[in-house]
Structure 1
Amino acid sequence: MEYAPHDLAPRERYKLLAGFVLPRPIAWVTTLGPTGVVNAAPFSFFNVLCEDPPLCIFAASLRPDGRVKDTVVNIERTGEFVVNMTDEPLARAMHDSSGDFPPEVGEPGYLGLKLAPSSKVAVPRLADAPWALECKTWKTIDVNSDRLLIMGEGINFYIRDELWDTSSMRVHMEKYHPVGRMFADRYCRTDDRIVFPPAEGAPAR
């Protein structure tokens, strides 16, 4: 079975991409509104791109009624945002924050999520997030006037102390339990892991 993209409606293409490119990491993006309201919204069309400089990207589509999402409005005004990663204890709140909240209602306050000040940007991070990347907008790309690709340069890393070995510069994976996006309302845990020895001829990492 195969399809050419032009033979499919956009929604059908979305279902094909979101149904097979699994699991996807989730950017739980916090932004700051003009009246100080903190917005928090999850995006699973997301990933990191490189380390020098540290770049990430996520895609923000329009709302179903055609309105621009608060995340985009806030980033276009301030040029700042924070990508917070989600672990299992925060997963339900992350999912619930994807609802259609009006601009004057901050998802963290509504859902009882604690905030903490960031070090390099004005946008707060989620205090209980295991990892957060404070970002300045690096570049934006308009796609068909209905989706914005937002690339951010990470200018500060926050790591929950017990998750990081400073001597080896490695994650304590037994303590880190991120969740991934599957499709629709489905997510996955990431604790069932496979370890392979280095491939023959490849340097150990």
Structure 2
Amino acid sequence: MELDFSQLAPLDAYRWLASTVTPRPIAWVSSISREGVSNLAPFSFFQVISDEPPTLMVNVNHHGDGSLKDTLRNVQATGELVIQLVSFAQAEQMNASSAGFEHGVSEFERCQIGSTASRLIAPPRVTDSVIAFECKVAEIQPYPRDKPNCHMIFAQVLLAHVSDAVLNDKGRVDPHKMDLIGRLGGAAYTRTLETFEMVRPG
């Protein structure tokens, strides 16, 4: 089977990419507006892209009508965000926060998700997250540049909150204790419980 992406409708292209490039980690992004309204939304076009400086990238698509999502508007205005990874225990809350609430509604309040003040930045973090990265915006790039339908947020990590409950006896992260979820295609997700190891050749 071959797929000529130049002949695919955008929705079909998305479905093929989203169902094959898997599993994708989920960035549960909290931000805050200039008016002080907190926002929380998940994004699965997400990855770590640099360790020096430590930088994460989140791709935020526009709404179907071309308008900007609250996450992007907030981050453009304040230059700050918290990126949480999502454990299996938080899957339902994460999914609830993905609903299309009207502008100015706080998902923390509407979905009854606990929040805790961040230490270095204004946006709050999700209280029970196993790991949360306090970040400042390094840059925001529209894509494609000539007719953007999304923006890539490059977020430099300032501080990480790591739950002691996910550490092993050596103080390192145990992936089984983290029990993170990842996005597959459609409505499917996966968990990071089944792992294996390989040693890279010298």
State the AA in 1 paired with 2:57.
I
Distance 1:18 1:169 in 2: 34
Deviation of the 1:168 alpha carbon: 4.0
Q: Secondary structure at the match of 2:137?
A: strand
For 1:165-204, list aligned pairs within 5 A: 165=168, 168-196=170-198, 198-199=199-200, 201-202=201-202
State the AA in 2 paired with 1:62.
H
Kindly indicate whether residue 106 of structure 2 is the aligned counterpart of residue 103 of structure 1.
no
Identity of paired residues, percent?
32
Moved more, 39-48 or 8-17: 8-17
Q: Secondary structure at the match of 2:24?
A: coil
Deviation of the 1:29 alpha carbon: 0.2
Q: Secondary structure at the match of 2:99?
A: coil
Q: Secondary structure at the match of 1:150?
A: strand
- Cα deviations across residues 108-162 of structure 1 (Å, max 9, x unaligned)? 1111111111111111111111101111111111113221011110011111122
- In structure 1, the partner of 2:67 is 67
For 1:34-49, list aligned pairs within 5 A: 34-49=34-49
State the AA in 1 paired with 2:190.
C
Kindly indicate whether residue 18 of structure 2 is the aligned counterpart of residue 8 of structure 1.
no
Moved more, 18-27 or 167-176: 167-176
Deviation of the 1:16 alpha carbon: 1.1
Q: Which runs of 5+ in 1 are unaligned?
A: none
- In structure 2, the partner of 1:120 is 120
Q: TM-score, normalised to structure 2's length?
A: 0.93
Distance 2:87 2:8 in 1: 35
Moved more, 105-114 or 172-181: 172-181
Distance 2:190 2:37 in 1: 30
- In structure 1, the partner of 2:152 is 149
Deviation of the 1:174 alpha carbon: 3.4
Q: How many residues align?
A: 199
Which 4+ stretches in 1 moved above 4 angstroms?
none
Kindly indicate whether residue 135 of structure 2 is the aligned counterpart of residue 132 of structure 1.
no
Q: Secondary structure at the match of 2:160?
A: strand
State the AA in 2 paired with 1:56.
L
Distance 1:140 1:2 in 2: 34
Distance 1:6 1:49 in 2: 27
- Cα deviations across residues 80-117 of structure 1 (Å, max 9, x unaligned)? 00001110110111011111111221111111111111
Deviation of the 1:169 alpha carbon: 4.9
Distance 1:4 1:74 in 2: 37
State the AA in 2 paired with 1:158.
H
Deviation of the 1:164 alpha carbon: 2.6
Q: Secondary structure at the match of 1:68?
A: coil
Conservation of the 8 A alpha-carbon contact between 2:34 and 2:78: no
Distance 2:153 2:195 in 1: 31
Q: Secondary structure at the match of 2:89?
A: helix
- In structure 1, the partner of 2:21 is 21
Q: Secondary structure at the match of 2:90?
A: helix
